[in-house]
Amino acid sequence: MEKLVKLTIDGVSVEVPAGTTVLEAAKKAGINIPTLCYLKDINQIGACRMCIVDTGARAFGAACVLPVSEGMNVKTNTPKLRAARKINLELLLSNHDKRCLDCARNQKCELQQMCIDLGVEDVDKFKGKINEYDIDDLSPSIVRNNNKCILCRRCVAACNNTQAVGVIGPMGRGFKTQIRSPWDQPLNDVACINCGQCIAACPTGALYEKDSTKAVWNLLADETKHVVVQPAPAVRAALGEEFGIPMGTSVTGKLAAALRRLGFEKVFDTDWGADLTILEEGTEFIGRLTNKGVLPMITSCSPGWIKFCETYYPDFIPNLSSCKSPHEMEGAMIKSYWAEKEGIDPKDIRVVSVMPCTAKKFEAKRPELSHNGMPDVDEVITTRELARMIKEAGIDFVNLPDEDFDPVLGESTGAGVIFGATGGVMEAALRTVYEKVTGETLKDVNFTAVRGTEGIKEATVKVGDLDVNVAVAHGTANAAKLLDSVRSGEKTYHFIEVMGCPGGCVTGGGQPIVSAQKRMECDPKQLRAAALYNEDANKPERKSHDNPSIMALYKDYLGEPNSHLAHELLHTTYTKRPKYTK
Complete DSSP assignment for 512-571:
PP--HHHHHH--HHHHHHHHHHHHHHT-S--SGGG-HHHHHHIIIII-STT-HHHHHHHB
Is 535 marked active-site? Answer: no
Beta strand 370-371 with 456-463 is: unpaired
Is 363 marked active-site? Answer: yes
Is 385 marked active-site? Answer: no
Is 115 marked active-site? Answer: no
3-state secondary structure of 348: helix
What are the beta bridge partners of residue 349?
A: 226
Alpha-carbon gap, residue 503 to 531, rounded angstroms: 13
Is 202 marked active-site? Answer: no
Residue 537 sits at the vertex; the CA angle it makes with 532 and 539, to the nearest 5 degrees, is 95
In sequence order, which ranges of 170-324 are alpha helices (DSSP H)?
197-201, 213-221, 252-262, 270-290, 303-312
Amino acid at 468: V
Alpha-carbon gap, residue 105 to 119, rounded angstroms: 20
Beta strand 73-74 with 4-9 is: parallel
Q: How many secondary structure helices (H) and strands (E) does the chain include?
A: 20, 19
Is 86 marked active-site? Answer: no
Alpha-carbon gap, residue 326 to 272, rounded angstroms: 8
Catalytic residue among 110, 363, 385, 535: 363
Is 284 marked active-site? Answer: yes
Beta strand 495-499 with 297-298 is: parallel
Catalytic residue among 139, 212, 250, 321: 321
222 half-sphere exposure, CB direction, 13 A CA radius: 14
Is 198 marked active-site? Answer: no
Catalytic residue among 90, 241, 281, 379: 281
Catalytic residue among 40, 324, 360, 457: 360
Catalytic residue among 51, 198, 301, 323: 301
Alpha-carbon gap, residue 202 to 198, rounded angstroms: 6
Catalytic residue among 15, 340, 368, 521: 368
Catalytic residue among 284, 411, 435, 535: 284
Residues 322 and 571: beta-carbon distance below 8 Å: yes
Residue numbers annotated as active site: 281, 284, 301, 321, 360, 363, 368, 505
